[in-house]
Structure formats: C-alpha cells, structure tokens
Copies of this chain bind each other. A is one copy, B any other.
Amino acid sequence: MTARARIKDVATLAGVSTATVSRALSSPDTVGPATREKVMEAVKATGYRINAAARDLRQRRARSILILAPDLSNTFFGKIFAAIQEEASAVGLTVQISDSRIGRDRLLSLGYDGRADGIVLLDGGIDPEVVNGWKLPLVQLSEWNDAYRAPRLGIDNRAAVGLAVDHLAGLGHRDILHVSGPRDNVLAVERQEGLVATAAARGMRATVHPGDFTMEAGAEAARHWAALADRPSAVFCASDECALGFISECVHAGFDVPGDVSVVGFDDIDFADRFLPALTTIHQPRAEMGRAAAARIVRMVEGPGMAGDDGPDVETLEPMLVVRSSTGAVQARGAARG
C-alpha cells in the first residue's frame, strides 16, 4: 500500500493482462462478467487509481480545459468560473486556470503543451498571433476579439446599453455622463459607442469620462462630476464596481443618490442589490454564460474535430435591466432635495 498501485499490479492480482484491466475499467461490457468482477476486486484491494499522464499521453488528450482571464481576482468572474468548473466536472474534465496576462511565452505554452484540450478565453486583449497559434478548440466568453478565429459568447452589450438609456430617458434624464472602461477593452468600447449612439438617437446629451472599471475610477469620476458647473443628472458606469465607487464618493461628498444623480451600473454583481442605495444595473447572466461556454467547449473537444459545426459563431445571451433604487426621476435644476 506504500507505493501507488499501477495497472500491472491490478492485472497480476486479478490474474489477467493489463489490457483486460484497462478494458474492464473503460469499457466494462467488452469483458466477461466474471473477469470484470475479479478486476474490480483487485482494483479495490490495491487502491488503484489511473495515472492520468500515461493515459493522456497515449490518448493524446488531457481531459482538461483551461480558463484564461485577465484578472482572477475580479469579482465578476467568480460565478463564471464556478459554472464552468461544474459543467466540466460533470463530464469528467478537470479545469485549469490562469491569468491571461502572464507573458507571451508562458501563455503560448499553456495552449500548446497538451495539458488542456480546450480553452475558454475571457480576454480580448491577447495578441491574436498567440491565440490563433494555439491549435486547440477555443471559445471566447464575455470579451472578444474579431481577430481570433473562434466562436464567441456573451451578451449583446449595445442592446444592454439601450435598456439603460431608455430607462434613464423614461425618468426624464436628458444629460448622461458615461464613465467608461479602458480604451483598449472591447466591452468598454462597445458600451461607450452604444451609449453615445443611443443617447444621440434619443436626443440626449452624452459625455464620456475615461475609467477602467474599478471602484477607484468610479470615485475619481465622481469627483470630476461634482466639480462640473453643469452636472449631468444621470451617470452610466461601465461596471458595477465603478458605479459603487461613484456612488460612494458622491455620498461622501454630500450628494444624494438618486436625488442629485441617478446611477446605473453594469454586470449586476452580487452586492448590487444590497448596496445602499441598491444599484440599478444591467444583469449579466454569469452562471448561464459560464455554463454555455463550458457546454460549447465540451462539444468542440469531444466532437469530431475543430470543424466548427458545433454552433453559431456568435452566441448571444439576453441582458436584463434590473431597476433598483439608484435611479430616480430627474429633479428640477437647482432644487434642493426633500
């Protein structure tokens, strides 16, 4: 019991060949019932567990998928990781995880060393040469990059923004400040462009303040907003964290939300509905996104080949506007609250 048992030990104990043991374990119906029984007993007696490296080498597959995300600690990803892992585990795949910003060479290796046989990529900012260099099934989730030759999956960000703008318009707002995300981030760009376009279409004024999705960026934007002579009555933040930072800073500065300014976030992270005020935001179905991406990559991995006949190039999930308490009807200019 000291050293791990190998298949050979099981075979010896059961009085059969290793081939039979292998078959008894992976396709039980191809061996006789008596033999199967003997093998199973020997397995139990030896405590045998398969050596994955040996099997992976021979079968040229790893039964494992890799998740790559730009920042593992981002609250947004938690539910997605959990959902992917759950789906994967259900079909017997293990999950590797890595920050996608670990350096070109390390990154290339990850997709190339045979340890994973599929990748879920949550980062649209990787050099396309690296991504397209991986010879592995790949799905893009949430973020994307048109230069990657891989299907993608996520919500319709423009539609989402539309929901938010319509909501604000309905409350009488005519002037929106958008706190954007990083200029090189697809999501940020998409949301910003969507906002500008939709606002224009509704005859609203829209200004953009740069940010980077973080609470600190939101807080900074709040200071900027507070210093404006002509303060927009509504703010649309490119992420919930940013919105929380914005509100927090506003309140500290003595403003009331939504009395003085209505704030809309994006993502619907877990805290959104417990925040004070509860945050009006765009709900992204993160668990569903994770599940769908996992299901897709599993299909690609288990499927015949990287043919790509396993689904549409773009799978769109429905975003939802969740109206809570951080937005309200626009107040008359200069009127005190209460």
Closest to A56 in B: B53
Smallest beta-carbon distance A287→chain B, Å: 8
Chain B residues with CB under 8 Å of A129's CB are: none
CA distance A164 to B275 in the complex (A): 23
Nearest B residue (CB) for A248: B274
| A89 and B95 contact, CB distance less than 8 A | no
Give chain B nearest CB distance to A214 CB in angstroms: 10
Q: Which residue of B lies closest to A135 (CB)?
A: B4
Partner of A99, one of B52, B72, B86, B99: B86
Q: Which residue, of A79, A251, A274, A275, has the highest number of chain B Cβ atoms within 10 A? A: A274
Q: Are A97 and B99 in contact (CB under 8 A)?
A: no
Q: Does A114 contact B (CB under 8 A)?
A: yes
Chain B residues in 8 Å Cβ range of A51: 57, 113-114
Give complex CA distance A245, B276 in Å.
11
Contact A74–B85 (Cβ < 8 Å): no
* Contact A49 B79, CB 8 Å, known A72-B85, A94-B96: no
Question: In the bound complex, do residue B113 and residue A49 qualify as a contact, i.e. CB atoms below 8 Å apart?
Answer: yes
Q: How far is the CB of A219 from chain B (nearest CB, A)?
A: 8
Residue in B closest to A80 when the chains form the complex, CB atoms: B73
* A147 in contact (CB, < 8 A): no
Number of copies: 2
Residues 55-97 (chain A) with a chain B CB within 8 angstroms: 56-57, 62, 64, 71-75, 77-79, 81-82, 85-86, 89, 94-97
Contact A81 B97 (CB under 8 A): yes
- Would you call A138 an interface residue if the criterion is a C-beta within 8 Å of the partner chain's C-beta atoms? no
Q: Which residues of B contact A251 (CB under 8 A)?
A: 276
**A115 on the interface (CB 8 Å rule)?**
yes
A34 beta carbon closer than 8 Å to chain B: no
By beta carbon, the residue of chain B nearest A216 is: B274
Of the residues B79, B89, B215, contact of A106 by C-beta under 8 Å? B89
Contact assessment for A82 and B73 in the assembled complex, using a CB-CB cutoff below 8 Å: yes
The 8 Å CB contact of A78, one of B50, B78, B95, B98, is: B78
Residue interface bits A270-287, CB-to-B below 8 A is 1, else 0: 110011101000000000
Please report the C-alpha to C-alpha distance between residue A54 and residue B55 in the assembled complex, in whole angstroms: 10
Give the Cβ gap from A116 to chain B, nearest Cβ, in Å.
9
Q: Which 5 A-B pairs have the closest CB atoms?
A: A73-B82, A72-B82, A53-B56, A73-B78, A52-B113
Known A-B contacts: A85-B98, A275-B276. Give 5 more (CB < 8 A).
A50-B113, A57-B57, A72-B78, A86-B99, A89-B102
13 A–B pairs (Cβ distance < 8 Å), ordered by A: A49-B108, A51-B113, A52-B115, A72-B82, A86-B99, A89-B102, A94-B98, A95-B97, A97-B97, A215-B274, A244-B271, A244-B274, A247-B276
